[in-house]
Amino acid sequence: MKIVLKQASVIPGFGLTLGYTVFYLSLIVLLPISALFLKTATLGWGEFWSIVSNPRVVASYRLTFGASLVGALINAFFGFIVAWTLVRYSFPGKKIIDALVDLPFALPTAVSGIALTAIYSSNGWVGRYLEPLGIKAAYTPLGVTIALTFIGLPFVVRTLQPALEELDPATEEAARSLGASRMQTFLRVILPAVFPALLTGFALSFARALGEYGSVVFISGNMPMFTEITPLLIIAKLEQYDYAGATAIASVMLLASFAILLVINFLQWYSSHRYRTGV
Amino acid sequence: MAATISMLKGASNSPVGLARSEENVWIKRGLIIVTLLFLGFFLFLPLAAVFSAALEKGFGAYFASFDDPDALAAIKLTLIAAGIAVPLNLVFGLAAAWLIAKFNFAGKSVLLTLIDLPFAVSPVISGLIYVLLFGLQGWFGPWLAEHDIKIIFAVPGIVLATVFVTFPFVARELIPLMQEQGSDEEQAALVLGANGWQTFWRVTLPNVKWALLYGVILCNARAMGEFGAVSVVSGHIRGMTNTIPLHVEILYNEYNFVAAFAVASLLAILALLTLVAKSLVEWRARQELAAALEPTMIKD
């Protein structure tokens, strides 16, 4: 059997666009990223392991993963409510609120970082009310979680909105006419249908939070073993010209991101596949 | 990623009727209140905080913050970086979208994943990879030093890092739309005697112009606001290699809060303009879609 590398087409420009796309992609993305892995490969296994399992580095993984996870969970819960409200209900100012959901995408991270710090520091708009309760937000892991929730917020809302819109009202009608209560309809009919989208939004929000730097560094206070996130540790190593250390930690983070990217791709394939076969 | 794509589709053609929302009115009100509180806390409050802190000492102090050569140099450098990164990624986006939407070939899905890669990479790592290539101890470091070319801690490094982080934006907006549109119209144009470029300019480009514009707007917002990646390669030389976000950081760390928030408010205004532009583009795209779907009989 002959392997078909490219289906015949009357449209011109295959060679040109393929050549340019691959060239530009290699130059800007692939070559630099492979530099990172090649640099890591020059470290011995022992050296690599001692860098990436150093207690200060492990503490930063714990904070980065933990805060990203909590942030993504908060976003999954409230993002669901926001998406539901925006799709199903009408209320004054809805269009403006819908547009504002993308603010964390559009607002530069340094700006959101200093703004969140100003709000949650002990004399800030929210911080001053938390302080008497014994809750410190700025310069603690709580502050890191708040920043990571902020930057992941649009993902869940924006992946759920189209899924909720596409739901066929007839299935809900059917559930109701068969005697299901509203809650049963929600749990058994609506939730399973939009669950892949919810999971995708959650994973996107988590992935974005893992690598986030700008919005966190101001509110975290950057204390080693306490509020130091992994991306910051990479920068700290670089500033000491410890390229090997920075590279080793970066390759761990990069592998984690790739793993999540694979999961997201799988989820998207799964939900579109399921949708197509109508199961 | 998928989220930004779905944005363009928006809450447009949904057949939502009143019959569908059958919750108890109190549950409904409660959910609306939760939505408003959550978004108020997480979106409105930070935005308001920027402008409130910037104007804390009045408009005089606010405008005085921009009367600073370092701030002006930062604004200029940001415009240069975005001015190079956006056109480069625009051309790439068009080429990649044409390739992926119009042809079927082996390795297409791998290519799609690779185009998305910069989204999955932490901004800090996006800067680091260029340091490993062009820094003093990097692959090309010694060669560059010999020829007296500076990339890291200089403007070229900032441009490169900006190009990397904004790499997929235009492509990601165009690819799904062009895939959906297929290539029937292009084939018709070619059969009628148009050449490839004519087909591209007269048929394809007009069909995707709103998605293209939207991609450019997003790409530009990210290019001007990028912090982590640029921070790694810039070296923070005042008046030389500082972009607007880096200048904000320096002012903030010097406890010059009014100036920091004043400069930050520029970026916040840019973000708000981006959101407005996005809404306008969506609205225009929907209008054209509605006009196209309208039966011709009604028109005359």
Write the pLDDT tens digit of every residue in A38-96.
999 998 899 999 999 999 999 999 999 999 999 999 999 999 999 999 999 999 999 99
- Specify if A108 maps to a domain: yes
What letter represents residue A51's amino acid? I
Question: Which of A14-28, A115-129, A162-176, B7-21 has the weakest average pLDDT?
Answer: B7-21
Q: Does residue B264 register a pLDDT over 50? A: yes
Condensed to tens digits (0 to 9), the pLDDT of residues A230-275 reads 999 999 999 898 999 999 999 999 999 889 888 888 887 877 776 5
pLDDT at B9: 41
- Top pLDDT among B216 and B291 is at B216
Determine the 3-state secondary structure of A127 from DSSP.
helix
CA neighbor of B164 nearest in space, from A166, A266, A173, A26? A26
- Specify if A86 maps to a domain: yes
Confidence class for position A2, pLDDT limits 50, 70, 90: low
Q: Which chain B residue's Cα is nearest to A87?
A: B11
Condensed to tens digits (0 to 9), the pLDDT of residues B186-207 reads 999 999 999 999 999 999 999 9
Find the mean pLDDT for residues A121-139. Answer: 91
Residues in chain B within 8 Å Cβ distance of A25 = 92, 96, 111, 114-115
Which residue range forms the structural domain that includes residue A120? 54-274
Confidence class for position A181, pLDDT limits 50, 70, 90: confident
Q: Tell me how far apart the alpha carbons of residues A244 and B242 are, in angstroms, rounded to a whole number.
A: 26
Bridge partner residues of B105 (DSSP):
A6
Look up residue A116 and give its two tokens: 């969140």
Q: Does residue B5 register a pLDDT over 60? A: no
Which one of A7, A22, A29 would you mutate to disrupt binding with B, by most B Cβ within 10 Å of its Cβ? A29
What letter represents residue A255's amino acid? L
Q: Do B71 and B247 form a contact (C-beta atoms < 8 A)? A: yes
pLDDT at B296: 55
Condensed to tens digits (0 to 9), the pLDDT of residues A142-164 reads 999 999 999 999 999 999 999 99
- Specify if A18 maps to a domain: no
Q: Do B169 and B244 form a contact (C-beta atoms < 8 A)? A: no
Number of domains in chain A: 1
Confidence class for position B24, pLDDT limits 50, 70, 90: confident
CA B174 to mean position of chain CA atoms:
13
CA neighbor of B243 nearest in space, from B134, B167, B168, B162? B162
- Specify if A36 maps to a domain: no
Q: Tell me how far apart the alpha carbons of residues B118 and B102 are, in angstroms, rounded to a whole number.
A: 24
Question: A32 in contact with B at a CB cutoff of 8 Å?
Answer: yes
Question: A165 in contact with B at a CB cutoff of 8 Å?
Answer: yes
- Specify if A27 maps to a domain: no
Mean pLDDT of the residues in chain A: 91
- Specify if A219 maps to a domain: yes
Q: Tell me how far apart the alpha carbons of residues A120 and A146 are, in angstroms, rounded to a whole number.
A: 9
pLDDT at A77: 97
Residues in chain B within 8 Å Cβ distance of A147 = none
Residues in chain A within 8 Å Cβ distance of B11 = 86-87, 98, 161, 165
What letter represents residue A148's amino acid? L
pTM of the model: 0.89
Q: Does residue B106 register a pLDDT over 60? A: yes
- The alpha-carbon gap from B296 to the nearest alpha carbon of chain A, in Å, equals 28
Q: Tell me, what CATH number does A238's domain have?
A: 1.10.3720.10
> At CA B231, angle to CA A243 and CA B88, rounded to 5?
105
Among the partner-chain residues A25, A213, A265, the one whose CB lies closest to the CB of B228 is: A213
Residue A134 buriedness (CB in 10 A; 0-12 / 13-18 / 19+): exposed
Question: Which of A217-221, B5-9, B90-94 has the weakest average pLDDT?
Answer: B5-9
Question: Which of A258-267, B56-65, B137-146 has the weakest average pLDDT?
Answer: A258-267
Q: Tell me how far apart the alpha carbons of residues B167 and B92 are, in angstroms, rounded to a whole number.
A: 8
- Specify if A30 maps to a domain: no
Confidence class for position A207, pLDDT limits 50, 70, 90: very high
Find the mean pLDDT for residues B38-64. Answer: 94
Confidence class for position B12, pLDDT limits 50, 70, 90: very low
Contact call for A28 and B3, based on CB within 8 A: no
Q: Tell me how far apart the alpha carbons of residues B60 and B57 are, in angstroms, rounded to a whole number.
A: 8
Find the mean pLDDT for residues A163-185. Answer: 88
Residues in chain A within 8 Å Cβ distance of B225 = 106-111
Condensed to tens digits (0 to 9), the pLDDT of residues A81-128 reads 999 999 999 999 999 999 999 999 999 999 999 999 999 999 899 999
pLDDT at A276: 56
b or e along B137-150 (b: 16 or more beta carbons within 10 Å of the residue's beta carbon)? Answer: ebbebeebeeeeee
Among the partner-chain residues A11, A29, A169, the one whose CB lies closest to the CB of B186 is: A11
Quote the ipTM score. 0.89
The segment with the largest mean pLDDT, out of A3-17, A205-219, B228-242, is A205-219
pLDDT at A262: 85
Residues 235-264 of A with CB under 8 A from B: 235, 238, 241, 243, 246-247, 250, 253-254, 257-258, 260-261, 264
Q: Which chain B residue's Cα is nearest to A164?
A: B14
Contact call for B3 and A159, based on CB within 8 A: yes
Which one of A21, A198, A200, A220 would you mutate to disrupt binding with B, by most B Cβ within 10 Å of its Cβ? A21
What percent helix, strand, coil does chain B show, rounded to 5?
Answer: 80, 0, 20
CA distances from B74 to A213, B194, B220, B227 (A): 20, 46, 16, 13
Q: Does residue B14 register a pLDDT over 50? A: no
Contact call for A114 and B261, based on CB within 8 A: yes
pLDDT at B137: 84
- Specify if A78 maps to a domain: yes
Q: Do A122 and A138 form a contact (C-beta atoms < 8 A)? A: yes
